[in-house]
Amino acid sequence: MNKVVQSASEAIKGIKNGMTLMLGGFGLCGIPENSIAALVSAGVSGLTCISNNAGVDDFGLGLLLQKKQIKKMISSYVGENAEFERQMLNGELEVDLIPQGSLAERCRAGGAGIPAFYTPAGYGTEVAEGKEVKLFNGKPHILEYALSADFAIVKAWKGDRLGNLIYKGTARNFNPMMAMAGKITIAEVEELVEPGELDPNFIHTPGVFVQRIFQGNNFEKRIEQRTIRT
């Protein structure tokens, strides 16, 4: 039951060219930065990455984009990443932009074993092109399919060696639903504790969904958009 690995490079073993990855986080909040850095170093390429956005140019998934290691992004937001925007507009990167709520629910559905669901989000836009439409209470809904991944990589505040996770504040974001939807889920944590030290009433992701866990280091805690008073 001990799921601890010693480093990010050990945690990502088995990730190969052409695989699909889910990566938790929102902007720069709650992103698995140590694992991403390990992927950059490993040089895997042709990746399909499911993530709310792609970090910034020099941090997070932006580092993989710089090295042209990502073939396709499935996201809701281009964000502050100029390289992401450039590659998308130049046709160098395949991009599937999804309404943010639909993206979250498609990940959650993948982990819950729900193959598809209907949602009104995106009806009447390019998002709905080619998708089945049904009326519910007189309102059109489009059919969206669940998302899953070869590997899900998440970031948590605390975890134990059994894989139980607690997220902190807004860093919870996409991490819990993605943790459920990977065939193999990797969790990097700020603090690794022994079983029994986490209050079971506050565990967000049960260890049954996590296969590998490690304590990260050098977390930068960047602020994507800093606003201060004059």
Q: pLDDT tens digits, residue range 105-136? A: 999 999 999 999 999 999 999 999 999 999 99
Residue 18 pLDDT exceeds 90? yes
Average pLDDT over residues 144-150: 98
Domains of the chain listed by start with CATH number: 8-114+147-215 (3.40.1080.10)
Q: Which two tokens stand for residue 119?
A: 């949602």
Mean pLDDT, the chain, integer: 95
The pTM score is: 0.93
What are 142's strand-pairing partners? 119, 133
Q: Where would I find the H helices in the chain?
A: 8-11, 33-42, 61-66, 82-89, 100-112, 175-181
**Cα 62–chain centre separation:** 14
Q: Comparing C-alpha atoms, which of 183, 121, 185, 133 is closest to residue 156?
A: 185
Residue-wise pLDDT for 44-79, tens only, equals 999 999 999 998 888 999 999 999 999 999 999 887
Of 193, 204, 199, 116, the closest CA to residue 154 belongs to: 204
Model confidence at 224, pLDDT cuts 50, 70, 90, reads: confident
Distance from C-alpha of 76 to C-alpha of 141, rounded to nearest angstrom: 19
